[in-house]
Amino acid sequence: MRIRIRVEGKVDVSSIKDLFESLNITTMNVTKSERLKEIKEIVDIVNNIRKEIEEKIGKRIVIKELILKKDGLYILNGDIDQES
């Protein structure tokens, strides 16, 4: 069984500020682009978000969608893994 979650929060995106500016975007869906998943700074941000949420709820999560905004806001849609 999986329980769906939606988490909104704020994270430091200063390490990828140049990426937002060079692509001339204010929002990026990290889960839709394989190229974005290969950028170390983005991987670090995703891991930090995952770690923070998992520590607060005490369960592993499966990220279905993660949207990062230029101002540091994020929206995570996912599932709580009941097997962990």
In the predicted model, what is the mean pLDDT of the chain? 93
Query: What is the reported pTM?
Result: 0.89
Q: What is the pLDDT of residues 34-58, one digit of tens each?
A: 998 899 999 999 999 999 999 999 9
> Which amino acid does the sequence have at 35?
R
| Residues 65, 77: Cα–Cα separation, whole Å | 5
Enclosing domain of residue 13: 2-81
Q: Quick check: 62 pLDDT over 70?
A: yes
pLDDT recorded at residue 81: 81
Q: Quick check: 84 pLDDT over 70?
A: no
Residues 21, 15 contacting (CB under 8 angstroms): no
Pick from 33, 30, 26: which is nearest to 77 by CA? 30
Pick from 42, 49, 51, 58: which is nearest to 10 by CA? 49
CA 13 to chain centre: 11
| Number of domains making up the chain | 1
